[in-house]
Amino acid sequence: MIEKDGVPSLNQVKAEFPTLETLEKPKAIIECYKRIPCNPCETSCPFDAITVGEDINDRPRIDFDKCTGCGICVYNCPGLAITVSQIKGEEVHLKIPYEFTPLPEKGKRVNVMNRSGEVITQGTVTKVQAGKKQNKTALIHLSIPKEYVYEAITIEVSHGS
Amino acid sequence: MRIKEHPILELAEKPPIPFYFNGKKLYGIEGDTIASALHANGVKKLSESIHLKRPRGFYCAIGNCASCNMVVDGEPNVRTCITPLKEGMRVENQQGKGHIHAK
Amino acid sequence: MQNKEAIVIGGGPAGLTAAFELLQAGASVCLIDRNERLGGQLTKQTHMFFGSEKQYASHRGIDILEILTNALGKYGNKLEILTQTTVVGMYRDKVLACVKGDKFFKLKGEKIVFATGASEKALPFENNDLPGVYAAGAVQTLMNEYGIKPGEKVLMVGSGNIGLIVSYQLMQAGVEVVGLVEAADRIGGYLVHASKIKRLGVDILTKTSVKRAIGKESVEAAEIWDLDEQWQGIEGTERTLEVDTICVAVGLAPLTELLQQMGVKVQYVREFGGNVPVLDENYQTSVEGVYACGDLVNIEEASSAMVEGRIAGINAARSLGYDVENADFRIKALHHELKDLRGGPPGDKVRKGLKKLGVAT
């Protein structure tokens, strides 16, 4: 239970996803399960796809029609609670925030973790965005098997060799 | 114990600062406090409790709790967690409450 | 003794914004801090802040510090900064006794803003005085300000935002967080922070606490145990974790000693971890011309501290006779910001505490 161990239930996770059909285009998945005073997801979105509203404690709501999956909210979210997901054939393309060093390199095989911190599969790093805009919250693009669409959330931290 | 790589902070290499801990020469770096330089050298025990002589390390790191008080250049009760390290400082573990001395 | 127009004690988020508002209104400010650098807790906040754009949300604390200190830069000669200066005594006639190095001197302020912050609490358990048992914020200072690891393996005690954030930052520094224990039956801080460390493999154990630290000269292990409904440890549930550091993140206590020395009225508020000054709606204490803001008046996020600093600063400037542009409108807007920041479930405790103080929320 998320209030006890930090792990959301599968139902909680699924409720933040659009239909798998919609997910053929990249979409932001916002996992902000509890009301907190925060709204950079709303103010950083260039497409007005995310709404927190007048009361900054309200949970963000996303309009999947407007979301382009650009990933800007991913590195602007102070809680690192947003990822971008897209289904492409037999794979899921994932964009995750990453704040560890060294950054994984493009093409590298990495261990993929679930929300309980267990390694569930391997994935390939397809792109690393770590420029001025990301301001030290790198955006890592991953390709992983499609079946882990609701499970994969981050990659195992590797502190060098 | 110094962090070599950090995803957020830029840890530039800084010039070393020699100092003495209980007579032994150690090195800190520019920007260190006395306590941080000692910790970087693996020294965790900074003082002793007054009655039971139990080892004490730092606790609050903001100059509030007195757990890091040491004798520095002969002066007791120096809050080493907020006192910048200077070249040639003589730092010693403090025993008891420390003695006021006339200069 | 030197006379000053306005003195701000404490150069953290609240003190910096209070000083800025006073300067902007035209006042001269003497800003005092016992540390070598200004910034208070901002100097080590490597994470992005929450809140809204008005409180620099999505910026890292260390970058907010730069914004705030740059804003002070343009007031050059009107601003006097005394760092490594400790105020050791406070008198009823607004005289401060200060120590800087081996110098002792006195200052008198026409108006004084207190922003002395809070200090981390300790937790009673066997051997809690062993070197290696450190306050979590202290560990954050060691890592993020001085670039030094506190140890290699850490047990975190407490799941408030400080415990959760420092756990994450320990991992960023390459330190292993062996686990996090929380005495309550649920996580105290923001769940996004909890999920962030859990998905990287840190177990969060609720209804669990540390029974004792083990070690001779410093921590070599920690014994943890389960707690029952009365928050008592359950015999037989002990297990030992091999750690060299125990981080204690069990709350903060406001630093009101100086205020109390000068006879300011304080009230014990459990929600704020101790005595806090009784304030009017202008953030003025029971002594005319003495203001207080930040963690000293209620334990909250730095975002709120910055807003409170502005309110105290504007009011102090007005009481000095300066004409602050749009003052009423700005103060109203700042109070609205506080209301926003405290409006959700994380603000429950703050609102409860403020109610005890008779402050409308």
Does the pLDDT of residue A153 top 50, yes or no? Answer: yes
Does the pLDDT of residue A134 top 50, yes or no? Answer: yes
Does the pLDDT of residue A17 top 50, yes or no? Answer: yes
Rg from Cα positions in chain C: 21
Number of domains present in the structure of chain A: 1
Does the pLDDT of residue C360 top 80, yes or no? Answer: no
B8 and A99: CB-CB below 8 Å?
yes
Residue C30: what pLDDT? 98
Chain C positions touching chain A (beta carbons under 8 Å): 47-53, 57-58, 60, 171-172, 174, 185-187, 190-204, 206, 303, 340-347
In a domain, A161, yes or no: no
ipTM above 0.90, yes or no: yes
In a domain, A35, yes or no: yes
How far off is chain B from C121, nearest CA to CA, in Å?
9
Domain C2-119+252-356 has CATH 3.40.1130.10: no
Residue C39: what pLDDT? 97
- Range name among A13-27, A43-57, B89-103 with the lowest pLDDT average: B89-103
B57 and C134: CB-CB below 8 Å?
yes
Domain that holds residue A110: 2-155
Residues of B whose CB is below 8 A from A155: none
The mean pLDDT of chain B is 93
**Local confidence band at A161 (pLDDT 50, 70, 90 cut-offs):** very low
CATH superfamily of C122-248: FAD/NAD(P)-binding domain (3.50.50.60)
Does the pLDDT of residue A160 top 60, yes or no? Answer: no
**Local confidence band at B17 (pLDDT 50, 70, 90 cut-offs):** very high
Does the pLDDT of residue C85 top 90, yes or no? Answer: yes
pLDDT tens digits for C170-216? 999 999 999 999 999 999 999 999 999 999 999 999 999 999 999 99
pLDDT tens digits for C38-54? 999 999 999 999 999 99
Does the pLDDT of residue C242 top 90, yes or no? Answer: yes
Q: Does A60 touch chain C (CB under 8 A)?
A: no
Residue B101: what pLDDT? 66
Residue B98: what pLDDT? 84
Residue A158: what pLDDT? 84
In a domain, A160, yes or no: no
**Local confidence band at C222 (pLDDT 50, 70, 90 cut-offs):** very high
Domain ranges of chain C: 2-119+252-356, 122-248
Does the pLDDT of residue A159 top 80, yes or no? Answer: no
Does the pLDDT of residue C140 top 90, yes or no? Answer: yes
The mean pLDDT of chain C is 96
Higher pLDDT, C211 or B13: C211
Q: Do domains C2-119+252-356 and C122-248 have the same CATH topology?
A: yes
